[in-house]
């Protein structure tokens, strides 16, 4: 089979490899689509991944069952979660794998086939196309929907999305669909323009005049919610400057830097801060419902490439000139 290999320093190649053999409780998936996520860029730009890749958003068809699998059958269409819990704890029983203390993340999905625990698979409705399924069972809409549930309040009207990569664009699309006023912020013109196409009322550049512009747009108060999707020192600082007193800052962007001060950022303006990572398996049917009720998630897709052209797709993504990118065999 063919699989994409991150060869390091922003390079990759498609190589031949033996198909993985599903272990007990796993299934082998014939990939129909995989999606590029910004979180893969660290390994892609850095040391790479010998023999594989960071792909973790995919859908496909079950072609082989490992020992002990009874919940799925060959030929079944599924979307997969990259986060798999132990299956036994209270959080797993509630469909909250990301809260399981033994949760593990899986990747290697930019390939013609991949193996995954059967517990990570969500059967797909027969009428759900592959493109839509990829976004609804992966990070693309999973993170924005998980975020939306944390800020489900009637008094929230204006939302700033700080950072317009794929997750940020998903937040723009969803929050506009839910009827909120959305302001998009980024440093890249391509993404600023793309956010307008997805429903942002205003989309502006993160420069020295950013906070002044935001205050002009919010009558000097700031936004009700700021969703930081960049995870950069500047974006985090601007998120707290851009939110109103008593408002909410949601962290989608990943960062290990220490950059917050309790008095400055929280106490004196009574700001709420919320962490949001991935999504719950129990939320997948809710995302199917969103699609059935008019949310066209494919608007996030800017490019589609065959797997053979994955190196070109990653090079384009690395230049910040895409929205969501899908690969297909």
Tokens of 128: 């759900």
Confidence of residue 255 (pLDDT cuts 50, 70, 90): confident
Please say if the pLDDT value at position 9 is more than 90: yes
Q: How far is CA 69 from CA 92, 101, 137, in A?
A: 18, 23, 21
- 285-291 contacts at long range (C-beta below 8 A, 24 or more positions apart): 286/145, 287/136, 287/137, 287/141, 287/142, 287/145, 288/125, 288/128, 288/136, 290/136, 290/141, 290/145, 290/174, 290/177, 291/128, 291/132, 291/136
Please say if the pLDDT value at position 259 is more than 90: no
CATH superfamily of 143-275: NAD(P)-binding Rossmann-like Domain (3.40.50.720)
Alpha-carbon 191 to chain mean position: 16
To the nearest 10°, report the CA torsion of 4, 188, 300, 243: 120
Please say if the pLDDT value at position 31 is more than 90: yes
Beta strands in the chain (DSSP E): 2-6, 12-16, 26-35, 58-65, 77-80, 83-84, 104-105, 113-117, 121-123, 158-162, 181-186, 202-205, 223-228, 243-251, 272-275, 301-306, 324-328
Write down the pTM of the prediction.
0.96
Please say if the pLDDT value at position 254 is more than 90: no
Classify burial at 184, counting beta carbons within 10 Å of its beta carbon; exposed 0-12, middle 13-18, buried 19 or more: buried
Give the Cα separation of 161 and 300 in Å (integer).
Answer: 15
Please say if the pLDDT value at position 253 is more than 90: yes
The pLDDT value recorded for residue 326 is 98
The pLDDT value recorded for residue 261 is 87
Give the Cα separation of 289 and 283 in Å (integer).
Answer: 10
**Domain boundaries 2-138+279-328, CATH class:** alpha beta
The pLDDT value recorded for residue 170 is 98
- Give the mean model confidence (pLDDT) for residues 135-163: 97
The pLDDT value recorded for residue 235 is 96
Q: What is the mean pLDDT of the chain?
A: 97
Nearest to 182 by CA among 212, 223, 153: 223
- Give the mean model confidence (pLDDT) for residues 225-240: 96
The pLDDT value recorded for residue 324 is 98
Secondary structure letter of residue 125 according to DSSP: P
Nearest to 33 by CA among 218, 322, 306: 306
Confidence of residue 123 (pLDDT cuts 50, 70, 90): very high
% residues pLDDT > 70 (the chain): 100
Alpha-carbon 289 to chain mean position: 18
- Give the mean model confidence (pLDDT) for residues 30-52: 97
* pLDDT tens digits for range 102-116: 999 999 999 999 999
Please say if the pLDDT value at position 304 is more than 90: yes
Decide whether 2-138+279-328 matches 143-275 in CATH topology.
no
Nearest to 252 by CA among 160, 132, 137, 153: 160
Q: Report domain extents, the chain.
A: 2-138+279-328, 143-275
Query: Could you give phi then psi for residue 62, rounded to 5 degrees?
Result: -70, 125
């Amino acid at each position: 089979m063919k699989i994409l290999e991150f060869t390091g320093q922003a390079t990759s190649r498609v190589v031949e490899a033996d198909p993985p053999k599903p272990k007990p409780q796993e299934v082998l998936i014939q990939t129909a689509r995989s999606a590029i996520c910004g979180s893969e860029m660290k390994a892609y730009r850095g040391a790479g991944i010998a023999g594989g890749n960071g792909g973790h958003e995919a859908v496909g068809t079950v072609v082989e069952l490992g020992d002990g699998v009874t919940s799925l059958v060959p030929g079944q269409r599924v979307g997969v979660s990259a986060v798999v819990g132990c299956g036994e704890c209270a959080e797993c029983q509630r469909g909250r794998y990301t809260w399981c203390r033994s949760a593990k993340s899986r990747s290697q999905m930019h390939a013609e086939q991949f193996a995954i625990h059967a517990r990570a698979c969500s059967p797909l409705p027969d009428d759900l196309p592959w493109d839509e399924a990829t976004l609804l069972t992966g990070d693309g809409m999973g993170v924005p929907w998980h975020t939306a549930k944390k800020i489900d309040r009637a008094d929230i009207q204006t939302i700033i999305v700080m950072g317009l990569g794929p997750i940020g664009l998903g937040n723009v699309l969803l929050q506009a669909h839910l009827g909120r006023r959305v302001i998009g912020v980024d440093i890249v013109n391509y993404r600023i323009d793309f956010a307008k196409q997805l429903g942002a009322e205003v989309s502006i550049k993160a420069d020295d005049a950013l906070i002044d512009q935001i205050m002009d747009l919010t009558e000097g108060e700031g936004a009700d919610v700021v969703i930081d999707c960049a995870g950069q020192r500047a974006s985090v600082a601007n998120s707290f400057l851009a939110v109103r007193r008593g408002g909410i800052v949601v962290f989608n962007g990943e960062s290990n830097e220490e950059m917050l001060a309790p008095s400055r950022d929280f106490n004196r303006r009574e700001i709420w801060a919320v962490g949001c990572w991935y999504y719950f398996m129990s939320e997948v049917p809710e995302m199917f419902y969103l699609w059935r009720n008019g949310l066209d998630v494919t608007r996030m897709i800017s490019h589609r490439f065959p797997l053979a052209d994955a190196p070109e797709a990653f090079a384009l993504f690395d230049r910040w000139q895409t929205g969501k990118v899908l690969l297909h065999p």
